[in-house]
Structure formats: C-alpha cells, structure tokens
Structure 1
Amino acid sequence: MNIIQRTLLLTILSACSCAAVAHDMAPAAKPQGATLLKNATVHTVLNGTLSHTDLLLEQGKIKTIGSNLSAAEARVIDLTGKHIYPGLIALDTTLGLTEISMVRSSNDTSDIGDDNPQLLAAAAYNPDSELLPTVRANGITHAQSTPRGDGLAGQSLLVNLDAWTIEDATHTATGQYHLYWPELPTVYADKARTEKAAEAYQQAVKRIKQHFNAAYRYQLGSASKQHQKEDIRWQALMPLFKGHGKLFVHADQQQAIEEAAALARQYQLPLVIVGGYDAWRLAEVLNEQHAAVIYTHCLDLPARPDEPIGQAFKIPGLLKKVGIPFAIGFSGDWDSRNLPLAAAQTVAWGLTQEEALKAITYDAAQIVGATGLGAIAEGYDASLVVSDGDILDPMTSKIEALYIDGRQIDLNNRHRQLYQKYLKR
C-alpha cells in the first residue's frame, strides 16, 4: 500500500470511528405552549416536599407551583403517585471529553504540560457523545465537564446533556479553573527512594507557586498598562485574579489541602476543594476562606489502613457538622450515572435524605455559579426528573421522564437498545 492509499484509509477509518460514537437521539425541540404537571409529590429542595402538587412550565421555566392549577391550552400530564425532583447535577466529570478512555483519539481530557489554564473544556466537548443519553437515564440533566492533567489543567464548564452544539449545551462557562495538586510523597523502606519522592513533590509544588507568581505579576503589569509580551497562559488566569472565577483544587490529603488553601489565601482566590477526603479536618481554615468542597469518595474504601470501613461514607456528614459548604460529585464519565447512588450512601451515615438530595442539586449548582438551577421554585429552570419511586433508591426508582429547560428529553440510549436486542436472543 503506498502512502496516498494508506493516508486515505486512515482518513476513512477516522471518520467511521467518529460516526460510531455519535448517538442517534435527536435533541428535543422547544415546547410549544405550556405544560402542566399535575398531582405529583414535588421535592422542591428549598421548601420541603409537597404532596398532590401541580407545576406549570412555560418558556423553559417553572411559572407556578400549587394545587388545582389550570392553564388554557396547556399540555396536561397526570403524575398521580409519581415524584418530581430537580434535575441532578454531576460535578467533576469528563462527560463529552472522553468516549473510550483507552482509545487516545476519543479521549480529549488532558494535554501535555502542567501550566495550561488557557485550555477550555468547551473546545473539546462532544454533545453527540454516546455516554450522555446513558447518564440522562439516571436523572442527570447537567454535568460539569472537567479537564484532567497535572498542575493547571484548564477550565471546565457546566453543560446540559441534550443539545445540538456546545453553544446550546453551555449553561455556565466562566471562571472554573482547575489545579491538580501533586500527590504527597510515599514513604518507602528505602530511605533514598523516600527522599527522592519528597524532592519530586517539593519541586512540583514549587512549579505551581512559580506559575501563580508569574500570573499575578502579569496581571499587575496589565493593570498598570506596562508593555509586556503577551502570554496566553497568564492572560487566561487574569479573570481569576480579578475575582471573576473560582479555583478548583483537586486534593484529598490534609497537607495538600492546607498548602492549596495557603496559595489561594495569598492571592485572595475563591477556593473549591475537589476530592476533599480530609477537608473536614480543616474546618477553621476552609471556613475562614469561605471555601467549598466537592466530595467525590462516597462509594470508596477508607484511604488509610487504620480508618473504620465506613470512613469515606460519613465524610459528607462530617462536612455538614463543621459547617463547610459541599456538594457530592462522582468523578468519571459513564460511571457518573452512579451519582444518586453515591448520595444515597450518605443517608445512612449522617445526612438526611433532603440534605443528600440538595448536595447533588442546589448545592452543586451554587458551587459552579449556576443560578436558577437545582431546585423547584418559581422562576427556576424547568430542568426536572419524574420518577416512580425514590430517586435515591436504585432498587425502586424508575426514571419515567426528564425535562431540560422545559423540553421533554428522549430517554432512549445505547444500553436500552442493547437490552432490547439481547432479549430477542
């Protein structure tokens, strides 16, 4: 095969592979007129649970909540015996950035280097991903699409999971900067190896501090209108230093969180800790800085051999007890559909059912700066889940309908198609 033939074959195979990962569920059209959902149990998140309640949806918003509502020419849906919840919000996912994690051409989660604050998840997001319909089927309407990497990895955005383009999908896209704090050095039996690991850790932390110092000096130079060579990395960080964003630091261990908090305090940066296994131990430090936590270990084993088996499960309850604002996340891509199960796990370990639901809806929306989302209230986005049974109970919950901005979404997906296929075997 000559070079031209080989190039043509690779081009065809690449095009076929892209088509193979595009789902065939067309995004829902905007609703024509109003929709009236009647007689449901409504879990408002902010104002308790309302029985036998109606919701009137108009122009993508929740217009009215009450009993015995009526609206001329509205499409009426009787939901007697059903539950309505706010759409779930999955934080710290790579949805839309990866299709098959082991296939490099379908994995756009990271780039080379440890100083890439200019990279935007929006530039790589694929609204046609096969993973999105499978996640929607578990009640997730929105997700934070998050870059991975070392050091400053880039900027995430909050998207709705039913859209033709990234412009249609984007809900909140500004000021979500992600910093991956280096792993603390392991203590080995070999002293020389331990010292080498400690030195590598210190060098990695030193590089992070150098990057923030360079970015801060660049911002000062720009403010004073001094002539300087443009640097797209530090240019991208300028909104953060001006208070128009948040620094999401991925860290779990106490020392790492303390060092990250000190860096944020030095430059007066709004801070969110992602992971946050030891965050509850640092309540004074984090509360002083009005920091929040996206806790991502609800279904994990203990991090240390001397911890009780349920340690990871009860940390959200500990965060609540010490007053640290938090949301529950589930790091991953297709497996982020386990978000309601992760939240449910915390109910037996310190949170109430209402608090667990709030941690994957309203609290999640607040942390990423999404207004009018995550609760059922008048004027909020009509992003809702209709379930037969408790959405936090995977044994009894059955998602029957999903609405994003008032649009009823197709719940078909690749998993359901395969299920129906092999029923015929």
Structure 2
Amino acid sequence: MKRLNILFILGILIITSSINAQQTPAASQSEAITIVGATAHIGNGELIENSLIIFENGILTQVLDATTTKMQYRGTIINAEGKHVYPGFIAPNTTLGLVEIASLRPTDDEDEIGEMLPHIRSLVAYNAESQIVESMRPNGVLIGEIVPRGGTISGTSSIVQFDAWNWEDAAIKKDNGLHINWPNSFKRGKWWLGEERGLKPNEKYAEDILKLSQFFNNSRAYMAGEQKQENLPFKSMETVFTNGKKVFVHVDGEREIVDAIQFKKDQNLKDMVIVGGYDAVKVADLIKAENIAVLATRPHSTPNQDDEDYDYNYKLAKLLSDKGILVGLESSGQMERASTRNLPFYAGTVAASGMDKEEALKLITLNNAKILGIDDRLGTLEKGKDATLFISEGDALDMRTNKLTKAFIQGRELSLESHQTELYHRYSEKYENQKKE
C-alpha cells in the first residue's frame, strides 16, 4: 500500500510539472507577416529559391517568387535570406498526448478494454499540455493524427495541431478515420503459459477475420433495423457505411494485406489506408489497382527477416512510390511518442536512399495531408491554406541543419522552447563554464 501511495504521488507530481512546463499557447495573429528571401520548399515537390510569403489572419495570402514580382510587403517583415521555409510536418498514426510516461498508469490513456471499439474517440483523451507534444515543435512537427491502440477495432482518430490549451482548441479534423488492427496469421508462443517460444501459425486466423466481418455485418443490420435498444459500437459504424469514413488497417504481412484488401471489397469500403505495410511491395500492383494509400513503417528500424536488405526499411517508401502508390511516413514502434520528433529525419533517410529530396519531403507534408484528408488546409505552402509553417537555418530533413528560428501554426508564432531545450541551455552553460576554468 505504501508503495502504491508513493507511485500515485510521483505520478501527480510529474503530471503537475508537465503542466507547469508547457509553453503558453500563442495569441492569434494580429497583423500581416511577410517572409522574404528564403528558399521555399512548397511541399508538393516544387521549390522557390527566392520566395516571398505573406500571411494574414492565419491564412497564406501570397506565395511567390520574389525575383519576378513587385508585390508590396505587408506588416512585420522577416528577412530569411539564406534560410529555408517549410510547411509544418504532419505526423500520422501517433499516440502523442495519450501517454506521457508509459510506466505510470495514470498518464496512459491509449487503450480501452474490449475488442470491437469503434465508439472510442482518441480526441477526448488527448492531453494538449503534454511535454512530449511540446518537444515536437522544435523539429517542425506541428500537426498529428492521434490514434487509439488495442483491440481489433481500436476506435477513431482525430487530427490536432500542437499549440493549444485543450483538445477542443487543438482539433483540426475530428474523427477522421476508423482504425483496425488486422489479425496476424502467425503468433508468438506464450512461454509463460508453457507454449513453445518463437513464431507459429495462428490456428484462429480465419476465425479472427470472421469475427471482424460479422461485426461489420451486424452493425449494418443494426443501422437498417428499428434500433429499439441502443448499441453504441454498432451505431458508431454509421459514418463508415454512409459517409465513407476512412478505414486505416494496421497490417504488415503479405497474406494479411491481401486478405485486408479482400475485406475492403467484401464490405464495400470506399477509402482504405494500409498502415505499416512492411510487405506491401510484394503486392504493390494489387494495392495500386485498389487505389489504396500506404503509411509506410518508419525507416529507422531493422529488417524483419535475416535475408532481407539491411536498408529495406530505408527504401520501402520509394519502392512503393515508384509503383504509383500514394505513400506517407508514420513513426509508430518502439518509443514512438518521443521518436515522432524524428519524422523529418525519416524522410531524410528515404532521400539518402534514392528518392529525390523534394519528393521525400512530400512523404511528411502533402502526401500525409492527402492520406489524412486535410490537404485542403495543410501540407503545402499555397495561397488560401493555413499559415502553418516554419523557418529553418538549413535543410530540415538533416538533423545537423534542422535548426528552427521561427514557427507558426495558423499564423500564431510559437515558442520553440521545451523542457529539452531548457536542459540543453542549462548544460551547455555548465560545460562552457568548465572550459573557462
């Protein structure tokens, strides 16, 4: 009991310190801002070497080549010669704001009890004052898709921006997609229950798929009936059937991907996205034929099989893009919340492995925006879109030169300080003083 009390108090202290450390959300844009002279990476593959960018009331009003226009500057003028400007990077399939410290249960809200949970909404559990969320911004990651975990159907995700007081203020697009964790045809032996270690065929694989199909069919029957007794999980499926809500299927194996695509056909799903897609290259033609997008697993991970190329994950996004598939990058996996700040460097690794640099940038800007259904507002530096962007001293896809000097979300200038930058300044000063002694 004493140990539990200590853990509870520790959790409260950590949560409190997290709230106190969070930077105050920026005030609304009060006057026009003009950025002059930067190399503008539009996010759609285009580049403007000497750009003129103007935004007012949180909206981009001009994105031009400064050498060919006589447009008059407006409001505050930022001279960005020699620097680079990018649209805010978009992180899909993340649990940011749902878990602060995995070992402290009071700060972990990514999963619920049950298998079929379409009624679970990640948005209402999102903690806008998370210290981890705050640490995304200094690397240019300004937008995220917040996704629940667990179960066969884990629930619905929402899109948020990373500068808000609460989830209501943070929301950009509510309940953008349903997430399904596709069953695996293999499973690992539970050695603690006396089973053999290692992978072995999942004898209940077909049964697991049947259960998923039955849930979809029962949900349709419920919606078509009188609904005398409310069933929240069934009712939550209505937007999937009637409005074509995106269905994100988390799946990696070749056989599983083929089965998931057949499920899409059987259930007449209008818009399906494969998340992970480790073996997607093996069935790329089928994926392309069904017009399915892929959120490719993060490049900074090792191959699954001993006989695969060491750089397989580095090349996966390019291999799929070369097949004509719409591809974005996601960052789930080990230490996924902290690692999401590395999203631009994942794109940089793809570029270093053969993809054109501006095409690699699209993997975390326009492509991710299209896949998440927010490309009408975000993902590129174009007139009429949200002024969600940042200025970097150098190449933002290179960890050596990704050094932000300014960042804006919907025209609001952000603080780029976080608990990590505070520690950096503290210990830099410490060691500088030691050098002088």
Q: Same fold (TM over 0.5)?
A: yes
- Equivalent-residue separation in structure 2 for 1:108 and 1:361 (angstroms): 28
**Structure 1 position 244 matched with structure 2 position 244:** yes
SS in 1 for 2:237: helix
- Equivalent-residue separation in structure 1 for 2:78 and 2:264 (angstroms): 49
The alpha-carbon deviation at position 211 of structure 1 amounts to: 1.6
- Equivalent-residue separation in structure 2 for 1:398 and 1:75 (angstroms): 22
Name the structure 1 match of 2:72: 70
The within-5 A match list for 1:7-406 is: 15-22=12-19, 23-46=21-44, 48-66=46-64, 67=66, 68-72=70-74, 74-186=75-187, 197-221=201-225, 226-269=226-269, 270-331=271-332, 332-370=336-374, 371-406=376-411
- Equivalent-residue separation in structure 1 for 2:309 and 2:38 (angstroms): 41
- Equivalent-residue separation in structure 1 for 2:12 and 2:353 (angstroms): 49
Tell me if the contact between 1:36 and 1:70 (Cα under 8 Å) persists in the aligned partners.
no
Letter in 2 for 1:53: S
Cα distance per residue 1:270-315 (max 9 Å; x no partner): 1100001111222232223221110123111111111111111111
Q: Which segment is superposed worse, 261-270 or 402-411?
A: 261-270
Name the structure 1 match of 2:433: none
Aligned length: 414
Letter in 2 for 1:127: A
- Equivalent-residue separation in structure 1 for 2:318 and 2:199 (angstroms): 37
Letter in 2 for 1:181: W
Letter in 1 for 2:384: G
- Equivalent-residue separation in structure 2 for 1:195 and 1:376 (angstroms): 47
- Equivalent-residue separation in structure 2 for 1:195 and 1:161 (angstroms): 40
Letter in 2 for 1:282: V
- Equivalent-residue separation in structure 1 for 2:401 and 2:71 (angstroms): 29
In structure 2, which of residues 399, 417, 420 is the aligned counterpart of residue 412 of structure 1? 417
Cα distance, 1:417–1:286 mapped onto 2, change above 3 Å? same
Letter in 2 for 1:199: E
Tell me if the contact between 1:90 and 1:140 (Cα under 8 Å) persists in the aligned partners.
yes
SS in 2 for 1:36: strand
Tell me if the contact between 2:366 and 2:379 (Cα under 8 Å) persists in the aligned partners.
yes
Tell me if the contact between 2:181 and 2:250 (Cα under 8 Å) persists in the aligned partners.
yes
SS in 1 for 2:23: coil
Tell me if the contact between 1:318 and 1:350 (Cα under 8 Å) persists in the aligned partners.
no
Q: Which segment is superposed worse, 373-382 or 209-218?
A: 209-218
Q: Structure 1 length as normaliser, TM-score?
A: 0.92
- Equivalent-residue separation in structure 2 for 1:166 and 1:271 (angstroms): 26
- Equivalent-residue separation in structure 1 for 2:122 and 2:14 (angstroms): 21
RMSD across aligned positions (CA):
2.4
SS in 1 for 2:160: strand
Tell me if the contact between 1:130 and 1:414 (Cα under 8 Å) persists in the aligned partners.
yes
Letter in 2 for 1:319: L
Cα distance per residue 1:30-85 (max 9 Å; x no partner): 1111011111111112361112211111110110122253245x011111111001
Question: Where in structure 1 are there 5+ consecutive unaligned residues?
Answer: none
Q: Which segment is superposed worse, 150-159 or 285-294?
A: 285-294
- Equivalent-residue separation in structure 1 for 2:305 and 2:14 (angstroms): 42
- Equivalent-residue separation in structure 2 for 1:11 and 1:137 (angstroms): 31
Cα distance, 1:187–1:336 mapped onto 2, change above 3 Å? closer
Letter in 1 for 2:246: K
- Equivalent-residue separation in structure 1 for 2:261 and 2:116 (angstroms): 19
Tell me if the contact between 1:175 and 1:239 (Cα under 8 Å) persists in the aligned partners.
no
Cα distance, 1:297–1:52 mapped onto 2, change above 3 Å? closer
Q: Which segment is superposed worse, 240-249 or 358-367?
A: 240-249
